[in-house]
Amino acid sequence: MQRSIAPPGKLRAVSDAPRAWLEAGSIPFNWWWLRHLPDGDGHPVMVIPGFAGSDTYNKPLRRFLRERGYHAVGWKQGVNLGHSHLDLAQLGQRVEKLHGWKGRKVSLIGHSLGGIIAREAARRHPDKIRQVISLGSPIGEERDQASTLNELYRLINTEPGDLNEREWHLAPPVPTTAIYSRFDGVLDWRVCLQDDGHDETENIEVYGSHNGLTVNAMTWVVIAERLARPEGDWRPFYKNRVLRWLFRKPPRSLSR
């Protein structure tokens, strides 16, 4: 029987931010195995913040990516307030500049609303985007029922803006990974799944909070493995014997 989409319960919601701090604090204790993740090939990676966030809170993730060998940068558009305040043309220019830096395609990582923006940028510039990785992004068609933040978002975003909400659920025409957590305290995790994608789309589950997805060791494992895949050689997420028990097989549909 299919359960209805609904915001997370109060306990999960109020505990999300404290859990995010715990996840961030656990990174040093996981460093002994994080440092053995695949090295990068130097291609540019842009990290886009979530709703009401800026490049500041993504610094640990960008630092990790630089240490792995990537040219990791922020989006440099200040606080992400939503589609009414978004300049996709400016973001496109930044993508083009990164692409022209060494003639390498750009990987985009977006947290929550940032994942929506990353996917839209990939739709507009598919020839310049290597892949998109979304972290807890509300890409499902039922997203209006999935979060208590929707009312605040609508209050701030009264103009149509550059994002076409009717296309949020459509996977961009590049390799696309949707990372999600069933313990998400902001969104019903099922709207973070790519339910109808193409041959190079994949959902990968991690354990953690919504706000902590950018400082989650399991997320970093997935990101490092996905970014290290050679361009044009997409394969499903590789679960070796050590990590297999950490990553559960994703559900086939929203009914689970």
Q: Regarding the domain with residue range 10-246, which homologous superfamily does it belong to in the CATH classification?
A: Alpha/Beta hydrolase fold, catalytic domain (3.40.50.1820)
Residues 6+ apart with CB under 8 A from 99: 44, 105, 106, 128
**Exposure of 12 in the CB half-sphere (CA atoms within 13 A):** 18
Predicted confidence (pLDDT) per residue in 116-133, tens digit:
999 999 999 999 999 999
Provide, rounded to the nearest whole percent, the portion of the chain with pLDDT above 70.
92
Please give the structure tokens belonging to residue 236: 């499903």
Please give the structure tokens belonging to residue 144: 């209006």
Q: Which of 8, 7, 20 is nearest to 210 (CA)?
A: 20
Please give the structure tokens belonging to residue 199: 């041959």
Residues 6+ apart with CB under 8 A from 172: 119, 120, 122, 123, 126, 129, 132
Q: Which residues of the chain are under the pLDDT cut of 70?
A: 1-3, 238-245, 248-256
- Is the pTM here over 0.75, yes or no? yes
Measure the CA–CA gap between 107 and 136, rounded to whole angstroms. 17
Give residue 94's pLDDT: 96
User: Residue 254: how many CB atoms within 10 A of its CB?
Assistant: 17
Is the separation of the CB atoms in 138 and 150 below 8 Å?
A: no
Measure the CA–CA gap between 241 and 159, rounded to whole angstroms. 49
Residues 6+ apart with CB under 8 A from 86: 77, 80, 117, 161, 162, 163
User: Cα–Cα distances in Å, from 223 out to 77, 83, 217?
Assistant: 23, 26, 10
Predicted confidence (pLDDT) per residue in 169-180, tens digit:
899 999 999 999
Give residue 160's pLDDT: 82
Question: What is the separation of C-alpha 85 from the centre of its chain, rounded to a whole number of angstroms?
Answer: 20
